[in-house]
Structure 1
Amino acid sequence: MSSKHPSAQKNTGVLKEKSPTSRLPAWVFFWAVVVFIIYGSLFPFDFQAIPAPFDRFLDEWHLFQNIPDVLDNFLLFVPLGIALHACFSSLRARIIASFFSILILAFGIQLVQLYLPSRTASLSDAFWNTVGMGVGLLIAARVWRALQKRLIHADTAAPQQDYFPMLLVLCWFFYESFPFVPTLDIGLLREHVKSAVFAPPFELMRLSQHWLAATLAGCAALKVHGLRPRRLNLMVIGAAAIFMEVFVAYGSLRRETLLGISLGLCTAYGLEIGLKNQARHAIFWLALSTYLLTIFTPYRAQPWDASFTFTPFSNLLWHGITKDIPPVAFETLAIGIMMWSGSLRAGRKQSFLTIWVVGILALLSLLEVLRVFFVGYHGDTTPLIVALVLSPFALSASTAMIQDEDQVVLPASTAQAERENTTTHLTPSPQTSDSHLRVEASIPLNSATAASHWRWLLGSSLTLTLALWILLHLPGIPYNLKKIFGDQILLGASIFSLVLLWLGMAPWWLAQTIIRRNAQKRHILLWIPLALLAMALISLGLLYFATPEIMLNKIIGAPDLYRRVVTEDYWGDVWRLRFSVLPQALVETLESSLRYCALYSLFMIPLTLAALALPKTNRLARLIGYSLFLAPFWYAAKLVVIDNAITDNLVELIAPNGNLFLFAIIILLALHASLMAEHLYRARTYLKPGLMSLAMLPLSWYLLNQGIDTLIVKDGLVFSGIQFILGENRTAPISEISLFIRWCLLYTSAVAVIVMGMLLAMRIFPAASLSKRRRRSKIKHSSTSNNSLAAE
Structure 2
Amino acid sequence: MKKLIAILYVIIAYGSLYPFLFSLEELSASSLIWLNINIPSIGDVLGNLLLFLPLGVAYRLSALKQGLHLSQVDTWLRPFGIVLFFAFILQVLQIGIAERDPNLIDVLFNSIGFALGFIAINFFDRVKVSLENPIAMLPIAIVIVYLLSQLAPFVPSIDFQAFKHSIKPLLVPPSASNILLVLFNTVTWLVMFRLLSFWRPVPLTFFVFGYFGLLVAKVVIYQNSVTWAVIIAPSIGYLIFRLRDWHDDGNQKQLYVLFLASIFFSSLISAGKPIHNAFSMLPFHSYLSGQVYAGVSTILLKVSLFSAAMWLSLELKYSLHRQAYVLAGLVLITECSQIFISGRTFDIGDVVLVGVTFLLVRHIGDLLASMLGNVTEHYRSQTQDRVPKTAISCSKEKNTSVFLTSLLVGGFMLLYMAISLVLLLPSIPYNVRELFENNGSILDVLFFYVFLLCIFGGGYWSASTIKEDCELRVSEFIGTQVKILLIAFIAITLAISEESLQDIIGASVYARDILAMRAESSWLASLLKILSLSMTANFVRYVEYFVRFSAFIGFIYFPLLLTLFWVRKKQAITNKFKVTIVSSGAIVFCYITVFINASTDNLTELIESPIAISTAFISLSILAGLAYLIVSVKGTARLIWFPLIILSSIASSWYTLNYGLEPVIVKYGQTFSAADFLLGPDRENQLSQSELVIRWSVLVLGLIFVTCFACTVSRAALNLKGHFNTAFLPKESSVLYSAAGVFCLYLLYRIFGEPFHIQTISSMLNPPAQEVVKVQLQKLTNLKHAPGVITLDGKPVKDFQTALKTARAFSEINIGRGLYKASGVVTANNVKITAEPGAVIFGSASQGKGAIVAKGNNLIIDGLECHSISVPSNNGVCVRLEGRGLTLNNVYFHHAQGGLLGSPKGGDIVIQNSRFEYMGHGSFFHGVYTMAKTRLLIKNSSFLNNQTGGHEIKSRSYYTEILESVIGSSLTRDSRLIDIPNGGQVRIENSVLVEGAYSENHDLLSWGVEGVSHDEGSIVIRNNIFIADKSYARLIAMKEEPQKLDISDNIIVGGIEGAPKAFNIFFEDRADLGIKPAPFIPNL
TM class by smaller structure: 0.5 to 0.7
| Aligned partner (choices 739, 742, 757) of residue 692 of structure 2 | 739
Partner AA of 2:156 in structure 1: F
Asked whether 1:459 is paired with 2:410, we answer: yes
- The 1-side partners of 2:286 and 2:215 are apart by 39
Question: CA contact under 8 A between 2:315 and 2:379: conserved in structure 1?
Answer: no
| Aligned partner (choices 623, 642, 647) of residue 689 of structure 1 | 642
Q: 1:554 to 1:763 in 2, by over 3 A?
A: same
Residue equivalent to 2:709: 756
- The 2-side partners of 1:86 and 1:219 are apart by 8
- The 2-side partners of 1:121 and 1:222 are apart by 29
Please give the root-mean-square deviation of Cα atoms over the aligned residues, in Å.
6.1
Question: CA contact under 8 A between 2:339 and 2:345: conserved in structure 1?
Answer: no
Residue equivalent to 1:662: 613
| Aligned partner (choices 314, 317, 321) of residue 225 of structure 1 | 314
- The 1-side partners of 2:280 and 2:317 are apart by 36
Residue equivalent to 1:191: 272
- The 2-side partners of 1:36 and 1:600 are apart by 46
Residue equivalent to 2:628: 677
Residue equivalent to 1:509: 461
Within 5 A, what are the aligned runs for 1:559-570? 561-568=510-517
Asked whether 1:726 is paired with 2:675, we answer: no
- The 2-side partners of 1:402 and 1:767 are apart by 33
- The 1-side partners of 2:509 and 2:181 are apart by 29
Q: 1:468 to 1:111 in 2, by over 3 A?
A: closer
| Aligned partner (choices 683, 698, 702) of residue 655 of structure 2 | 702
Residue equivalent to 2:851: none
Question: CA contact under 8 A between 1:612 and 1:622: conserved in structure 2?
Answer: no
Give 1:635 shift: 3.9
Residue equivalent to 1:536: 485
Secondary structure of the residue that 2:245 maps to in structure 1? helix
- The 2-side partners of 1:78 and 1:524 are apart by 42
Asked whether 1:482 is paired with 2:433, we answer: yes
Asked whether 1:142 is paired with 2:223, we answer: no
Q: 1:445 to 1:390 in 2, by over 3 A?
A: closer
Q: Which has the higher strand share?
A: 2
Q: Which one has more relative contact order, counting CA pairs under 8 Å at least 6 apart?
A: 1
Asked whether 1:712 is paired with 2:661, we answer: no
Q: 1:75 to 1:528 in 2, by over 3 A?
A: farther
Give 1:448 shift: 2.4
Unaligned runs of 5+ in 1: 1-20, 153-165, 183-187, 246-251, 262-298, 300-325, 344-388, 415-442, 769-792
Residue equivalent to 1:450: 401
Partner AA of 2:679 in structure 1: L
Residue equivalent to 1:98: 204
Partner AA of 1:628 in structure 2: I
Secondary structure of the residue that 1:144 maps to in structure 2? coil
Q: 1:193 to 1:462 in 2, by over 3 A?
A: farther
Question: Highest Rg: 1 or 2?
Answer: 2
Asked whether 1:48 is paired with 2:129, we answer: no
Give 1:256 shift: 7.5
- The 1-side partners of 2:184 and 2:522 are apart by 43
Within 5 A, what are the aligned runs for 1:566-715? 566-568=515-517, 573-580=522-529, 581-582=531-532, 584=535, 588-618=541-571, 621-655=574-608, 658-684=609-635, 685=637, 686-715=639-668
Within 5 A, what are the aligned runs for 1:340-351? none
Question: CA contact under 8 A between 1:113 and 1:119: conserved in structure 2?
Answer: yes
Q: Deviations over 1:230-277 (max 9, x none)?
A: 8997999899989x99xxxxxx9654799999xxxxxxxxxxxxxxxx
Q: 1:619 to 1:726 in 2, by over 3 A?
A: farther
Q: 1:62 to 1:589 in 2, by over 3 A?
A: farther
Give 1:142 shift: 3.1
Q: Deviations over 1:457-509 (max 9, x none)?
A: 22232233322232222222212212334665462446534533443222211
Give 1:147 shift: 4.3
Secondary structure of the residue that 1:765 maps to in structure 2? helix
Q: 1:663 to 1:523 in 2, by over 3 A?
A: same
- The 1-side partners of 2:307 and 2:610 are apart by 65
Q: Deviations over 1:393-418 (max 9, x none)?
A: 59959996979xxxx9999xx9xxxx
Q: Deviations over 1:349-405 (max 9, x none)?
A: xxxxxxxxxxxxxxxxxxxxxxxxxxxxxxxxxxxxxxxx979859959996979xx
Q: Deviations over 1:624-657 (max 9, x none)?
A: 32021234444444444444444333443222xx
Question: CA contact under 8 A between 1:609 and 1:627: conserved in structure 2?
Answer: yes
Q: 1:527 to 1:395 in 2, by over 3 A?
A: closer
Q: Deviations over 1:56-99 (max 9, x none)?
A: 89xx999998557999999989998999999899xxx99xx635
Within 5 A, what are the aligned runs for 1:258-297? none
Q: Deviations over 1:206-244 (max 9, x none)?
A: 79999xx99x969983994224778997999899989x9
Question: CA contact under 8 A between 1:457 and 1:760: conserved in structure 2?
Answer: yes
Identity of aligned residues (%): 19
Q: 1:570 to 1:524 in 2, by over 3 A?
A: farther
Q: 1:135 to 1:53 in 2, by over 3 A?
A: closer
Q: Deviations over 1:410-444 (max 9, x none)?
A: 99xx9xxxxxxxxxxxxxxxxxxxxxxxxxxxx95
Question: CA contact under 8 A between 1:207 and 1:260: conserved in structure 2?
Answer: no
Question: CA contact under 8 A between 2:338 and 2:344: conserved in structure 1?
Answer: no
Residue equivalent to 2:448: 496
Q: 1:70 to 1:666 in 2, by over 3 A?
A: same
Q: Which has the higher helix share?
A: 1
Q: 1:646 to 1:765 in 2, by over 3 A?
A: same
- The 1-side partners of 2:586 and 2:137 are apart by 46
Give 1:151 shift: 4.3
Unaligned runs of 5+ in 2: 1-130, 288-301, 385-393, 722-1084
Secondary structure of the residue that 1:225 maps to in structure 2? helix
Give 1:25 shift: 9.2
Q: 1:209 to 1:594 in 2, by over 3 A?
A: same
Secondary structure of the residue that 1:526 maps to in structure 2? helix
- The 2-side partners of 1:745 and 1:174 are apart by 41
Give 1:335 shift: 4.7
Question: CA contact under 8 A between 1:653 and 1:708: conserved in structure 2?
Answer: yes
Give 1:337 shift: 4.6
- The 1-side partners of 2:435 and 2:325 are apart by 37
Give 1:714 shift: 3.0
Give 1:729 shift: 0.9
Partner AA of 2:675 in structure 1: I
Give 1:737 shift: 2.7
Within 5 A, what are the aligned runs for 1:328-343? 333-335=354-356, 337=358
Question: CA contact under 8 A between 1:561 and 1:588: conserved in structure 2?
Answer: yes
- The 2-side partners of 1:621 and 1:190 are apart by 60
Q: 1:547 to 1:151 in 2, by over 3 A?
A: same
Question: CA contact under 8 A between 1:601 and 1:634: conserved in structure 2?
Answer: yes
- The 2-side partners of 1:445 and 1:547 are apart by 40
Give 1:528 shift: 2.7
Question: CA contact under 8 A between 1:453 and 1:760: conserved in structure 2?
Answer: yes
**Equivalent residues, number:** 548
Partner AA of 1:554 in structure 2: D
Residue equivalent to 2:474: 525
- The 1-side partners of 2:225 and 2:179 are apart by 13
Residue equivalent to 1:471: 422
Question: CA contact under 8 A between 2:264 and 2:331: conserved in structure 1?
Answer: no
Give 1:724 shift: 0.6
Partner AA of 1:763 in structure 2: A
Secondary structure of the residue that 2:601 maps to in structure 1? coil
